[in-house]
Structure 1
Amino acid sequence: MNKPNQETLDELKAIYVQKIKAEFPKQLKNFSDKNAKEHQLSQLRGYLHKLVGSGESFGYTDITHTARAAESIATSLMSESTKDKPSRLTYLVKLLEKLAGIVDKIEIESPVTLHSGANFTDRQSNAKLLTVGQAHIAKTERKHTICVWVIDDDESVAAQLSEQLLSFGFDVAYFLSCAAFKQALLSSQPHFVIADVRLEDNSDFYRCADLHRIDLKSFGLIIMSAFDDFHARIKAVRSGAITYLQKPINVARVASFIHEHKNKIQLHPERILIIDDDTDLSALYKSQLEAAGMAVHNLSDPRKVMAAIQEYQPDLVLIDLYMPDFSGMELAAVIRQFDNFTSLPIVYISSETDNQRQSKAIATGGADEFITKPVSADILITALRTRVKRARQLNALISKDSLTGLLKHSAIKEAVKSEIARTSRDRQSLCISMLDIDRFKRVNDTYGHAVGDTVIESLANLLTQRVRQTDHVGRYGGEEFMLVMPGCDAESAQVILDDIRERFSNIEFTVGNKGFHCTVSAGFVQLEASVFLPTADSLVEHADSALYEAKNTGRNRVVQSITARI
């Protein structure tokens, strides 16, 4: 796991210290111990509650402990009319004075100029983009593309295997020696490596890797060899290889194997929505979670929660339990009112330590978990990552096709409906495509259904790799697929579908010593933003009609529906 950039953390910490040094005296000035009104106590308690959660998170344990004691006294003064109220007020003032002394003694190690949240976020994003841009692995805008490297001293074998893997939509590079491979590792990192166990001069790949100090467990290692014996396979296992393949390589099976194991690498970052009125603390959480590879969006205005969820489509919502105008329980209950978000993971985060109140909050709002502030970065990351992983696994069981891992018929139809609504809201175009493998029955009749399944899997894998992260891909039925492309115009859709068609036709399927190729036809329709919105069924019908035309005019082609504007 990457750690947050130290400069970023130092800046966040400095901003936090400057803010509390400026804000805390104002809080004391607004609070009168002699004539403490309920609204003053409420305001003070709210501010102390923030300090309880943020102090230790930024490394100031004394702030958290003192603020927690003061918050407890302020709460009791609001809820009780006790005889010892004057003494409690006196004690509260002493705690506040102690807290003021702690804050006053804190020194800012590196003075910074305060920026607005937007500017600070922009600077973070720019730094990130520069980091990504330095790695030649990120050659495309499709950040979820799997990168595969091939190592074989026989250039004809390496080039042919690489060319076939390219047809599946992978980013591919090949190397003829361990030295060249090691040099490339200095600037980028592959997801999978396919290596021949025998390299130049009959040298052993494992010895070469050891000589060049290459960590074979830092990527998914696939060993290939012309030999097939027990000791060679055991050696591959002990080196950390995830499989051992005998030459000649069945590329379609390799591609399917890579897709089966891709969940072990983090291609799709967890999308986290944080709702917290404490912008300093939420900025810290954002920095910590992003350093772990997550995508994070902060929201300080709870009233915009539904718009943020619909726009950002988070995997999990992290909500502060106590906020000035709305509680986390109320927000969670509102989210659960929408059928689409009944299974969206919601996690509370608060300095509340009372177990009964925590349980009540979970039961009332329908949240899934409770994290107590202050929380370390490791615990926060693990808790959220585990929760998202479980939710994704459950969603996959419900909505994904067992053979291809793509969306099922009903799920892809729902995606069409939601994207039609988004098209209307965002005033952007939308393209829907139907794809069908040409003469697929002949494949089944000639080679058997197992080979037919391999062909279906191969097209599914290619679609997954080729499309954008915002697109939806589903198995509509049999050998027919649907591709939903929001924000895509007809010209772009034509280019994407033609590329898929050409790549698929280049894939060689092998059965024994025989090889064969398949082709795919596609039809698509573009929906432009308009007052009138069609139904999902009508859009699919137009795409299907275009597919029918592609089939009837020769197959292995892409046809656009004559109805460009519906």
Structure 2
Amino acid sequence: MTARILVVDDIPANVKLLEARLLAEYFDVLTAQDGFKALEIALATHVDIILLDVMMPGMNGFEVCERLKADQRTAHIPVVMVTALDQPADRVRGLKAGADDFLTKPVNDLQLVSRVKSLVRLKMLGDELRLRAETARTIGMEEPLRLDAMEGPGQVLLVDSRASSQERIVKALKPVAEVTAMSDPQAALFEAAEDPIDMVIINGTGDDYDPLRLCAQLRLLERTRFLPLLLVTDLGDEDAIVRALDLGVNDYIVRPIDPNELVARTLTQIKRKRYNDRLRTNVRQTIELAVTDGLTGLNNRRYLDNQLKVMFTRAAARSRALSLCMIDIDRFKQVNDTYGHDVGDEVLREFARRVRSTVRGADLACRYGGEEFVVVMPDTDAITAAAIAERLRATIENAPFVLERSGLRLSITASLGIATNLQGIETPEQLLKQADRALYAAKTGGRNRVVAAAA
């Protein structure tokens, strides 16, 4: 794993020291001697992590961090403050400014490398989600998301076998989160997988369980793989911290716990989790919209073009029948001309509903364009396809289209053409063309009928 790290410090010796440590791990290192230069580099260059000194002239590290997090172009870059300040109040101030962690000078090499690698992994995940979600924003589907957006209290699962420790953590988080405290790690694992949890806090000194094993189990399960994990550990237990970060733990806090620091770290993790959840939702919706017709809810032509190739190739390889039915609403232009396009849209939606209710589960129903629809029927010969098409034709004709928005009752019919791959057809394009010819024959032959392509 490699990444580009920006080191910001006004003391050249400190910069050289961090640079040498990071270069030894094959990271690409950029440097800046003040906050203004750091902001300039972060905006102009791809940066994965920023190691930021706090005490600098002109603009201190807290101010630099606040500016980075306020700008949507740089808000996603993890910031680690490297400082001689080691008081809880300093950490809380940095966390509230948006910092992801603190490293106290002199910096422990093992902790430095482990923390950087951990944050790089998390950033790469976030970058992938943001890149995919960018498609939605490009076509105007979604407004840009903000990392600081958080609605409602967080849902936190606390795994701690000590009652006194549970009580202190629950009390500290009460203003910002609803905490479920559990002593049994296996029960907690089940709880995290089944319930909507925003974050898991794990006591790193469990008396009767291995906390790092629980962290590993949470990272293995599909439902909990992306849950933020915060480890509560003892001062000086550096080996446990390094191992936890390698396992994918997002953050840690050292005893004695400062309540304000715990709240700040918890809020940071919950906000980031909800931000990533919304990114994943946007990505999923973008994919769905890319293959779905927005008016009817059926798959669109793009999806048909891709899937028909797959289904045709599979049928040919297995020497199985594949039939295709092309459907056209009769005299649909008259509906639009007489009643308007809003009524036409209602007819299309009801037509699609009847198509869905008639075809089988294995069939692929798509809106081909305008008032044309296509149903692809795997493992279906010409006789069976004709029977299905006739059932669909009757379903459309036998009951009037009752349009709730306009209050109209319209009699609608459809013409259908079918073709089968066992009729000397060698490509999916030929199958579509044969079905289209059969549909044309149905239209010219009087409409409201099913015509099969000639063998």
TM-score, normalised to structure 1's length?
0.32
Greater radius of gyration (CA): 2
Give the TM-score taking structure 2 as reference length.
0.39
Larger RCO of the pair (alpha carbons < 8 Å, separation 6+):
1
